[in-house]
Amino acid sequence: MRPYITAAVSLVFLVGPAWGQSQTGISQNTGGECSPAVVSQGKVTITCTGLDARQQEMLRKMPGLIDQLLKRSQSDRDEILAKLDEILKIQRDVEARSADRHLTDQEKTDLAKFLAERPKGRFTIKANITVHDARKYADEIAAFFTDKLGWNVHVDNAIITGSNTVGMWITVRDPNAPPSVAGILLQAFKAANMPVPGQYDTTGPAADEVWLSIGSKQ
């Protein structure tokens, strides 16, 4: 059982700046935080601005690190590059795990295909406001079911506590007499390869209600 506390929340979205650069031949116009300029002798000068002290120190060390790498044997270079690839893979995995959740095009297609011939229903999404992307993910799911599939979906902010608040799950009050829409949703998410288990809570939804709760990212 996961206790629920309804709450209000406001969201602030920050958008960072973007920049680009273009260059043709030796005659150049460069811009951005790090601007390379090639002089007539073929040398490259890179001028960087807007870097903090740690980034500046890393940049100063790069030529020496590259020089040391080139002086090593081929086997040493291969080993170092392999380690760097491992580090980059770990970084990409961390970024993927921390990225906001979204319905993929494939998930939308699978959900729509499965539900096309099923009766339309209603349910409430409980978005855990202590999870940074839960409300946005809830709104996206609600919009898809409402606008594309013709369902009646409401979104509530909630504080969800308990021993396991990871992923999504469907909650009904009575496991012996669940609303029919609960079974339809379980099958639909399964068809879309979205793991959504079912559970019951005698103090949670009303007898004719179905909750889809969104916790933290798996």
Question: Model confidence over 91-138: pLDDT tens digits?
Answer: 666 555 668 899 999 999 999 999 999 999 999 999 999 999 999 999
Answering whether pTM is above 0.75, one says no
CA dist 62 and 94 (Å) reads 24
167-203 pLDDT, tens digit per residue, is 999 999 999 999 999 999 999 999 999 989 999 999 9
At residue 92, the pLDDT reads 65
Say if CB 185 and CB 212 are below 8 A apart: yes
10 Å CB burial of residue 216 (0-12, 13-18, 19+) is: middle
Q: Which residue has the tokens 């007539």?
A: 40
Higher pLDDT, 79 or 46: 79
pLDDT-derived band at 3 (thresholds 50, 70, 90) equals: low
Residue spans of the domains in the chain: they are 32-98, 101-214
Share of the chain above pLDDT 90, in %: 51
The secondary structure of residue 145, as a DSSP letter, is I
Structural domain 101-214, CATH architecture: 2-Layer Sandwich (3.30)
CA dist 141 and 125 (Å) reads 9
- 171, 176, 179, 184: CA torsion to nearest 10: 80
Task: Evaluate if residue 158 carries a pLDDT over 50.
Answer: yes
Among 151, 143, 91, smallest CA distance to 119 is for: 151
Q: Backbone phi, then psi, for 114, in 5-degree steps?
A: -70, -40
